[in-house]
Structure formats: C-alpha cells, structure tokens
C-alpha cells in the first residue's frame, strides 16, 4: 500500500518585497482576500486533501502567522458573551489541534529548495506535500485533493502544472514532457526559470507538489541554481535522473498569482464575486466602472 500524504510544508519565509510597504509589518501570507488571509486558503485546501500535519518554514517578522493559528481566548469570550455564534464558528477554521502545526525558521534566504530542506527532520521517510500560499487556486474540488487522488494511482512525484503564455514562462519552473495522458504528463526533465527561447515547453509548475523523501536527500547535495538560490525544481529534476517518476498534473481550477499585485487584485474581485452577500454590490460597481473609463 502506498503511504498516505499527511504532512505539508508551507514555505512562508519570503520577505514579500513586492507588497512593500504593507509587508514591512504584515507577513504577506496574512494579507487578505475578502476577509481571510492567503494562508487560510492554503490550509483549507490542505485539510480537504487529508493533511494532518502542517509545517511552516518561516523567518524573522512572521509572528503574526503564529498568532493567527493560535486560540484567542479573550476574543472568543467576548463573542460568546455577545451571542455572536456565527463569528465564533468562523474563528474555528483558524484553530489547529495542538501539535498539528510546527514552525521552523529558515535562517538564511537561500531559496525554495533550501526552505523545504529545513523541514526534513519533520518529514522523515514519507511522501509529503509542498504548498506555496501565493498560488491561490479556486476549484470545485480543491487542487491538492485532485492531486492526492491522482497520486494514489501513480506514486512518484507530482507537481501541479498549467500552460502559461510564452512571455511569462521564464518566471516558472518548466516541464520537459515525455508523454501525456489526460490530466497527467510524464516528465523527463525540469528547468527553473529558463529563458523563453530555451524553455522545453509552455507547461509551468504551479505551487502544489507531492514529493517523495528522495527529493529531500537530493536537496542535501544541491548547489545553488537559478538566481543563486537552491531550487526545489533542480532537486525534483535530479529524481528523474535517479529513475524515479515525476508527473505534471493539469489541475482543474483557476489559479491566481497572489505574489503579484495584479493577480492579488484579480483574486480579490473573483473571490468577492463568489460570495453571495457581496456579489450584487460588487457586480454593479464593476459594471458602473466599466461604463466609465475614467473611474
Ligand atoms: C516558485 C518555484 C517555481 C514555480 C513557482 C510557482 O517560484 O521556484 O518553479 O513555477 O514558484 O508559483 P517563485 O514564484 O517563488 O519565484
């Protein structure tokens, strides 16, 4: 029997400089889409996929993240006193079972591969997920759940994949494809942020991974790659050289790049429109400004 994926790593050590000055004092992952921080969307998706242990790789200044997942007795008491049961219910999704969440510091900003490697002792010898909270995916069935189901059939390593425009491909890890079958793509190579002209395909890696522990061993020996950082992409590519399987998974859903301001705004509008209590107001506002180009 294949081991179940029950642990997920959330690399959240980045400084979020693209969102300065906000991120001077607020971790990027706490920035909100409508009324929930980015990280809550990732946690909900992980829970739906059966994840039981949540490992955050953090850095200095990310204290608000730890507080967010803590109980808030005073606030809860206050809400209870006022009979605000709905709000109390909302707060429940932010609470973690004691011992289910762990924080590890990445002491140096050496890249995504290094961040994942920092969690190696908590992973041990099991398959694990990696989720990048910047990539928010709206989907009928949450993306990681789709992947866990596909992984139950394939094993190996699996990365979420999506076609991107050629002019954007150099911002991503890119798949070199050997076979395609439905949503699954067998991968024969991977390159981190190639020049557009040298990209092996237009199929980009999106921030959801299911990885085997051999990738952590590869990270032990990894030297810095693209941008002078230790790249997760390179450690996964090395697994292919060692005859382990890597699959790209074309997920069903809409991905928002919330690491960019434009992506963040698009996600805000889209998640706002998805909320019944906001839909009508927001829609009529959007209609009014699309009629008035100067707004
Ligand atoms: C990271 C990964 C890259 C992947 C991307 C998805 O890059 O290194 O392979 O395609 O996430 O969002 P970053 O966006 O952190 O530079």
pLDDT tens, per residue, the chain with 295 residues = 788 999 999 999 988 889 899 888 899 999 999 999 999 999 999 999 999 999 999 999 888 999 899 888 898 899 999 999 888 888 888 888 888 999 999 999 999 999 999 999 999 999 999 999 999 999 999 999 999 999 999 999 999 999 999 999 999 999 999 999 899 999 999 999 999 999 999 999 999 999 999 999 999 987 777 878 899 999 999 999 988 999 999 999 999 999 999 999 999 999 999 999 999 999 999 999 877 666 5
Ligand 1 neighbourhood includes 9 CB (under 6 angstroms) = no
Q: Are 236 and 222 in contact (CB under 8 A)?
A: no
Ligand 1 neighbourhood includes 229 CB (under 6 angstroms) = no
Q: So what's the pLDDT on residue 243?
A: 86
Q: So what's the pLDDT on residue 93?
A: 81
Question: What residues contact residue 130 under an 8 Å CB cut-off, 6+ apart?
Answer: 8, 9, 10, 11, 116, 207, 208, 209, 211, 232
| Site to substitute for ligand 1 among 163, 171, 246, 248, most atoms within 8 A of C-beta | 171
Which numbered atom of ligand 1 lies nearest the CA of 192?
9
Q: Are 269 and 136 in contact (CB under 8 A)?
A: no
Query: In this structure, is the dihedral angle defined by the CA atoms of residues 33, 232, 59 and 127, taken in order, positive or negative?
Result: positive
Among 50, 96, 33, 20, residue whose Cα is nearest residue 272: 33
Query: How far is residue 36 CA from its own chain's centroid?
Result: 15
Ligand 1 neighbourhood includes 205 CB (under 6 angstroms) = yes
d(CA 3, CA 211): 12
Q: Are 122 and 55 in contact (CB under 8 A)?
A: yes
| Site to substitute for ligand 1 among 13, 19, 173, most atoms within 8 A of C-beta | 173
Neighbouring CB atoms inside 10 A of 9's CB total: 27
d(CA 174, CA 187): 10
Q: Are strands 135-138 and 254-257 parallel, antiparallel or unpaired?
A: antiparallel
d(CA 11, CA 260): 17
- Is residue 57 helix, strand or coil? strand
d(CA 106, CA 9): 12
Q: So what's the pLDDT on residue 2?
A: 80
Ligand 1 neighbourhood includes 190 CB (under 6 angstroms) = no
Which numbered atom of ligand 1 lies nearest the CA of 204?
10
Neighbouring CB atoms inside 10 A of 21's CB total: 7
Q: Where are the alpha helices (DSSP H) in the chain?
A: 38-48, 63-68, 73-81, 85-92, 112-118, 120-123, 143-154, 214-220, 232-241, 261-273, 276-291
């Amino acid at each position: 029997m294949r081991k179940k994926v029950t642990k997920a790593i959330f690399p959240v050590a980045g400084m979020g400089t693209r969102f300065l000055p906000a991120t001077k004092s607020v971790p990027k992952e706490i920035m909100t889409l409508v009324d929930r921080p980015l990280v809550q969307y990732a946690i909900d998706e992980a829970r739906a996929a059966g994840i039981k242990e949540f490992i955050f790789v953090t850095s200095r200044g990310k204290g608000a993240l730890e507080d967010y997942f803590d109980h808030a007795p005073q606030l809860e008491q206050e809400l209870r006193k006022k009979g605000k049961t709905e709000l109390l219910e909302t707060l429940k999704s932010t609470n973690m079972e004691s011992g289910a969440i762990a924080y590890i510091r990445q002491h140096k900003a050496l890249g995504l591969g290094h961040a994942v490697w920092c969690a190696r002792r908590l992973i041990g010898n099991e398959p694990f997920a990696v989720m990048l909270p910047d990539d928010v995916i709206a989907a009928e069935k949450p993306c990681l759940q789709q992947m866990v189901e596909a992984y139950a059939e394939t094993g190996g390593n699996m990365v979420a994949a999506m076609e991107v425009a050629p002019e954007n491909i150099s911002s991503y890890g890119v798949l070199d494809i050997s076979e395609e079958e439905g949503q699954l793509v067998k991968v024969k190579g991977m390159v981190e942020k190639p020049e557009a002209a040298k990209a092996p395909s237009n199929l980009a890696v999106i921030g959801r991974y299911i990885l085997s522990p051999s990738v952590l061993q590869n990270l032990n020996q990894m030297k810095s790659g693209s941008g002078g950082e230790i790249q997760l992409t390179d450690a996964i590519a090395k697994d292919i050289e060692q005859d382990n399987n890597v699959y790209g998974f074309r997920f069903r859903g809409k991905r928002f790049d919330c690491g960019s301001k434009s992506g963040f705004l698009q996600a805000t509008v889209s998640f706002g429109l998805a909320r019944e209590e906001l839909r009508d107001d927001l829609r009529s506002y959007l209609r009014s400004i699309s009629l008035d180009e100067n707004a």
